[in-house]
Amino acid sequence: MRFSVTVRVALLALALALISNLALAGFVWQSTHADAIETLGRETIERSDALVAVYRAGGLGALDATTEARRVGDDSLIAAVFDADGRRIAGFGPARLGAPHPIAFALGDLGIERGWDAREAGYSVRPVGARWLLSGRLLDNWREAQHGIERALALSLLLSVGLGLAGGLVLARYVSRRLDLIAGAVDAVAGGDLARRVAVVAGGHDAFDRLGGQLNTMLDKVERLMTELRVMTDSLAHDLRSPLARLRTKAENAALQTDPAPRDAALASLLAETDIVMRMLATLLEISRSEAMSRDRFTTLDPAALIEEIAELYAPVLEDAGIDFAVQAAPAPGAAVHRELLSQAIANLLDNAIKHGSGGEIALRLASEPAAIRIEVADRGRGIALADQATALRRFGRLDAARSEPGAGLGLALVEAVSRLHGGRLELGDNAPGLVARIVLPI
Amino acid sequence: MSRKILIVEDDAATASYLAKGLGEAGYSVETCRDGRDGLFLASEGIFDLIIADRMLPGLDGLAMLGAIRAAGIATPALVLSALGTVDDRVDGLRAGADDYLTKPFSFAELSARVEALLRRTDRSSSETQRARLSVGDLEIDLLGRTVTRAGRNIPLGTREFSILEYLARHAGQVVTRTMMLEKIWNYHFDPGSNVVDVHIGRLRRKIEDGFATPLLHTVRGAGYRLAVEA
C-alpha cells in the first residue's frame, strides 16, 4: 500500500515528533526519579547520623523530644528505637521491626505490622548499643509527586502526538503546495506554453527556490532551442523560397525560348541556380552532421602542411583578383583534426575574406600556443561590428550589407560548427580595419 | 564492341534517365532494381562498369559491392548516393567503390566519371608504367617532371604539373572540376570560389600562349578536356 506524499510527509513528521518527545520524557522521568532517590538516601543517612548523636548524648528522652519537634513540621518523618527483639521502645514508627539488622539505606515497606506493611518508606536501621535506631521518611507524598510527574509526561506525549500530527499536516501541505507550483509550471511548458516559468520568491534561497530557479534556467534553454529550431526551419523555408523562385522563373524563361542559343543560355543559368540550392543543402547537412560526429574521423597531421595546401589552392585566385595574400604558417605540433572539414572551414573564411575584404590584403596565419593552435584569416574590409557577430554566426544569418550578394549565410555557421567539433571555438575580432576570424583549436 | 554497364538503381526515374543517357553515349546498358539481382548479374563478370545506388532494397549498394569484391570480381564500380557529406563519400570509397557521386548530379559529371573509370581499366591492363605522356605536340616527361611543347621547354610549378599530368592521363576525355579537386587536391568538398578554373586558366596560359593551336578546352557545363582538336 502506498500513501500519497502528503500523508507520508505527515506521518514522518509525526513519528519524528513522537520519537523526540519520548526520548525527552524518558530522560526527564529517569533523571527526576534517580535524583529524588539519591537525595532521599543522603537526607536519611544524614538524619540518622544526627539522631544517633542525639540518642547517645541525651538518651531516649532527648530522641523522643527531637522526633516530636521534627514531626511537627513534617509528618512523613519516622524515627524510632527498637530493642534487640525488634519491639519499639520509643519514637514514631511501626510497633515491631522483624529481625533487625543494620541497613544503610533502603526503599520498601517497614515490617510486618498491619498499617505499616503497605506504606513504602526510605529508611535506615542503625545499631545503638544493644538497641536499634530506625529513621527515615514515609514516601506516600513523594510517590504521589512521582506519579504526578509521570502523568504530566504521559500527557505531554499525548500532546506531542497531536502537535506532531498537526505539524506534519501543515508541513506536508506546504511541501506539496511548493511542489505543485513547480510541477504546474513544468506541465504548462510540456503542454505548449513555453513562456511559463516557476514563480520564484524574490531573494528566496530555500531549496524550492533553488529548484525552481534551476528549472527556469533549463526551461529558458528549452525555449531558446525551440525558438532557434523554429527560426531555423522558417528561414530554411524562406531561404529556399528565393532560389526556388529564381529557378522557376528561369525554367519558365527557358521553356519560352525557341531559338537554340538563348535557350541553351537560359538552361545553363537554370543549372547554375540548381547548384546553388544543392550546395546550400549540402552545407546545411555538413553542419548538422559535424555537430554530432565521433572523433574517429580525425587524423593526426601537421597543421602547417594543411594551411599550406589550402593556401596553395587559393593563392592563384587571390593573385588574379589583385589581392595581396600573406601566408604565415608557424611550426605547430601535430594535431588530430578532420582534414576535410577543417580545410573547408578555412576555405569558407578565405571565400568570405575575398567577398567582403574590399580587395585589400588578406592574411592566413597559423600560430601555436602552449595548449592550442590558432588559424586566422584577416581581411581589410568592413569587418563585423560586435553587435552583428551573433547574426553573422547564425545559420542563414546574413548581415544587411551582404543581403544583396549571393550566398546562403551558412559559411560562418559551418566554420563555427567545425571549430566546436574539434573542441575549439571561432572568434571574430577587429583587424582595424577589417575582420579577423580565428579558429582556436585545443591540442 | 560497345562497353557494357550495369545499373543497379531502385528509383525508376533515375534508372531510365541513366540508361537513356548512357545508351545515347554509346554504351550498352542493363538495369536491375535491387541488390540481389545486381549481385547475380555482376557475378557473371561480363560488365565493364557497375553503377550502383547506395541505398537499395534487399541488399544495400555497399554490401552488394562488398560481396562482388569478395567473389574476386574487380569490375570498377561507381556508387550513387543521396548521402553527400564528406564522411559518407569516404565510407563509400572504403567499401570498395572506385568512385562516389552524390545525388542529384549532372549527367556531364556522371559521364566524365564513367569514362575515367573505363579508361583506368584499360590503362591498368595496357600501359601501366609510362615514362612519357604526349598530347599533340605537348610532351610530358613523368620521370624528369619536365614539359615541352613543340620542342620548347615550359616551366611549370609542382601543382601545375600534377594538373597537366592528370589531364594528359585523361586526354580526350572530359574532366570535371570536382574530379580534379578530389584527385589532385584530395578535397571532397566544394570550395565556393572558382578555384579550379583559376588554376586551369594559369596552366592554359603557360601551355597555349605563343602557340598556334589551343590544347586545353573548356567543356561548358561539365569541365575541361585536354586534346588536340576542339
Q: How far A268 CA sits from the closest chain B CA (Å)?
A: 7
Count contacts between A and B (CB, < 8 Å). Answer: 66
Residues of A with a Cβ under 8 Å from any B Cβ are 268, 271, 274, 278-279, 282, 285-286, 289, 293, 297, 309, 312-314, 316-317, 320, 340-341, 343-344, 347-348, 350-351, 354, 411
Residue A4 pLDDT exceeds 80:
no
**By mean pLDDT, which of A146-150, B76-80, B167-171 is the weakest?**
A146-150
Confidence of residue A429 (pLDDT cuts 50, 70, 90): confident
Amino acid present at A56: R
Where in chain B do CATH 3.40.50.2300 domains reside? 4-125
Among candidates A369, A357, A361, A348, which has minimal Cα distance to A426?
A348
Which residues, other chains included, contact A299 with Cβ-Cβ below 8 Å and sequence gap of 6+?
A336, A337, A338, A339
pLDDT of residue A374: 93
Asked whether residue A312 falls in the same domain as residue A433, the answer is yes
For A91, the 3-state DSSP assignment is strand
Q: Are residues A237 and A125 in the same domain?
A: no
Q: Is residue A408 a part of any domain in this protein?
A: yes
Q: How far apart are CA B53 and CA B62, in angstroms?
A: 9
pLDDT band per the 50, 70, 90 thresholds, residue B91: confident
Which among B102, B189, B193 has CB closest to A317? Answer: B193
pLDDT in tens, A147-174: 888 888 888 888 888 888 888 888 888 8
The CATH code of domain B129-226 reads 1.10.10.10
Angular region, A396: left φ>0, alpha ψ -120 to 50, beta rest? left
Best to test chain A binding among B109, B178, B185, B189 (most A CBs inside 10 Å):
B189
Can you tell me the distance from the alpha carbon of A394 to that of A414, in angstroms, rounded to the nearest whole number? 9
Query: Do A66 and A92 touch, CB atoms closer than 8 A?
Result: no
> Are residue A303 and residue A239 in the same domain, yes or no?
no
Residue A233 in this model has a pLDDT that exceeds 90: no
Instruction: Average the pLDDT over A58-82 and give the result.
Output: 78
CA-nearest residue to B201 within chain A is A316
Same domain, A353 and A220: no
**Is the four-CA dihedral A370, A372, A373, A375 of positive or negative sign?**
negative
Residue A343 has a CB neighbour count (10 Å cut-off) of 24
Annotation: CATH topology of B4-125: Rossmann fold (3.40.50)
- In this structure, what are the phi and psi dihedrals at residue A403, rounded to the nearest 5 degrees? -65, -30
For residues A184-208, give the mean pLDDT: 81
Q: Provide the residue count of chain A.
A: 443
Report the pLDDT value the prediction gives residue B127, as an integer from 0 to 100.
Answer: 57
**CA torsion, ordered B77, B81, B86, B87, to nearest 10 deg:** -80
Co-location of A20 and A122 in the same domain: yes
**pLDDT tens per residue across span A15-38:** 888 888 888 888 888 888 888 888
Instruction: Identify whether residues A303 and A431 lie together within a single domain.
Output: yes
Q: Are residues A9 and A131 both part of a single domain? A: yes
Q: Is the pLDDT of residue A325 over 90?
A: yes
What's chain B's average pLDDT?
87
> Is the Cβ pair B191, A278 closer than 8 Å?
no
Query: Where are the domain boundaries for CATH 1.10.10.10 in chain B?
Result: 129-226
- What is the average pLDDT across A351-357? 86
A245–chain B nearest CA distance, Å: 19
The neighbour count for residue A87, using CB atoms within 10 Å, is 11
Are A344 and B195 an interchain contact pair (Cβ–Cβ within 8 Å)? no
- Specify the range with the lowest mean pLDDT, choosing from A424-428, B123-127, B197-201: B123-127
Give every strand in the sheet of A425-430, ordered side by side: A325-329, A362-368, A372-378, A435-442, A425-430
Under a CB-based contact definition with an 8 Å cutoff, are residues A287 and A417 in contact? Answer: yes
Residue A111 pLDDT level (bands cut at 50, 70, 90): low
CA distance A271 to chain B (A): 8
- Provide DSSP, A324-346: -EEEEE-----EEE-HHHHHHHH
Distances (CA, A) of B39 to A249, A421, B36, B54: 44, 38, 5, 13
Residue B150, chain A, CB below 8 Å: the answer is no
Phi, psi torsion values for A236, nearest 5 degrees: -60, -50
* Residue with more model confidence, B176 or A404: B176
Interface contact flag, A282 B193, Cβ < 8 Å: no
Q: Which long-range contacts (CB under 8 A, 24 or more apart) does A370-373 make?
A: A371/A442, A371/A443, A372/A424, A372/A440, A372/A441, A372/A442, A372/A443, A373/A303, A373/A332, A373/A333, A373/A335, A373/A440, A373/A441, A373/A443
Spatial neighbors of A198 by CB under 8 A, at least 6 apart, are A181, A182, A185, A186, A212, A213, A215, A216, A219
B196 φ/ψ sector (left φ>0, alpha ψ -120 to 50, else beta):
alpha
pLDDT at A404 over 60: no
Does a structural domain hold residue A199?
no
A312 burial (CB, 10 Å; 0-12 / 13-18 / 19+) is: middle
CB-CB under 8 Å, B102 with A317: no
In this structure, are residues A425 and A418 in contact, taking their beta carbons and an 8 Å threshold?
A: no
Whether the pLDDT of residue A327 is over 90: the answer is yes
Contact residues, chain B, for A354 at CB < 8 Å:
193
B177 interfacial to chain A (CB closer than 8 Å): no
Distance between CA atoms of residues B168 and B162, nearest Å: 10
pLDDT tier at A76, thresholds 50, 70, 90: confident
B87 in contact with A at a CB cutoff of 8 Å? yes
A157: in domain: no
Looking at residues A93-109, what average pLDDT do you find? 79
Average pLDDT over residues A366-381: 90
The answer to whether position A184 is within a domain reads no
Mean pLDDT of B212-227: 89
- In a shared domain, residues A234 and A304: no
- Residue A7: pLDDT band with limits 50, 70, 90: confident
**Contact criterion met (CB < 8 Å) for A351 and B191:** yes
Q: Report pLDDT digits (tens) over A253-289.
A: 888 888 888 888 888 888 878 877 887 787 777 777 7
B194 vs A75, more confident: B194
Q: Which of A310, A343, A355, A415 to mutate to test the interface with B (most CBs of B within 10 A)?
A: A343
Nearest CB to B221; choose among A268, A309, A312: A268
Nearest chain A residue to B91, by CA: A297
At CB < 8 A and 24+ separation, what contacts does A212-216 make? A212/A181, A212/A182, A212/A185, A215/A182, A215/A185, A215/A186
| Residues spanned by the domain of A24 | 5-145
Instruction: Give yes or no for residue A238 having a pLDDT over 80.
Output: no
| Separation CA A310–CA A315 (nearest Å) | 8
Which among A313, A343, A356, A412 is the top mutation candidate for probing chain B, defined by the most B β-carbons within 10 Å of its own β-carbon? A313
Length of chain B, in residues: 230
Inspect the interface and report whether the beta carbons of B85 and A286 lie closer than 8 Å.
Answer: yes
In chain B, the percentage of residues whose pLDDT exceeds 70 is 95
Percentage, residues of chain A above pLDDT 90 = 11
Which residue in this structure is represented by grid cell 530554411?
Answer: A236
Q: A311 and A438: one domain?
A: yes
Of the residues A288, A308, A327, the one at which a domain ends: A288
Residue A351 to residue B188, Cβ atoms within 8 A: no
Nearest CA in chain B to A313: B195
Judge whether residue A208 has pLDDT over 70.
Answer: yes
**A161 within some domain:** no
Q: Which helix (H) or strand (E) holds B24?
A: helix B12-24
Which residue, A145, A163, A183, sits at the end of a domain? A145
CATH of the domain at A423: 3.30.565.10
Q: Are residue A300 and residue A386 in the same domain, yes or no?
A: yes
CA A217 to mean position of chain CA atoms: 13
Residues of chain A found within 8 Å of residue B103, distances taken between Cβ atoms: none
- The domain total for chain A is 3
Nearest CA in chain B to A310: B185
The confidence score (pLDDT) of residue B19 equals: 93
Burial, A375: exposed, middle or buried (Cβ in 10 Å; 0-12, 13-18, 19+)? Answer: buried
**Is residue A80 very low, low, confident or very high in pLDDT (cuts 50, 70, 90)?**
confident
Question: pTM to 2 decimals?
Answer: 0.62
More confident residue, A291 or A61: A61
- Do residues A222 and A332 both lie within one domain? no
- Select from A259, A288, A317 the last residue of a domain: A288
- Is B105's pLDDT higher than 70? yes
What digits encode the pLDDT tens for the residues B185-213? 988 887 867 899 999 999 999 999 988 88
- Interface residue B222 vs chain A (CB under 8 A): no
Mean pLDDT of all residues in A323-332: 90
CB contact under 8 A, B159 and A312: yes
Same domain, A298 and A438: yes
**Mean pLDDT estimate for chain A:** 82
Average pLDDT over residues B19-29: 92
pLDDT at A414 over 80: yes
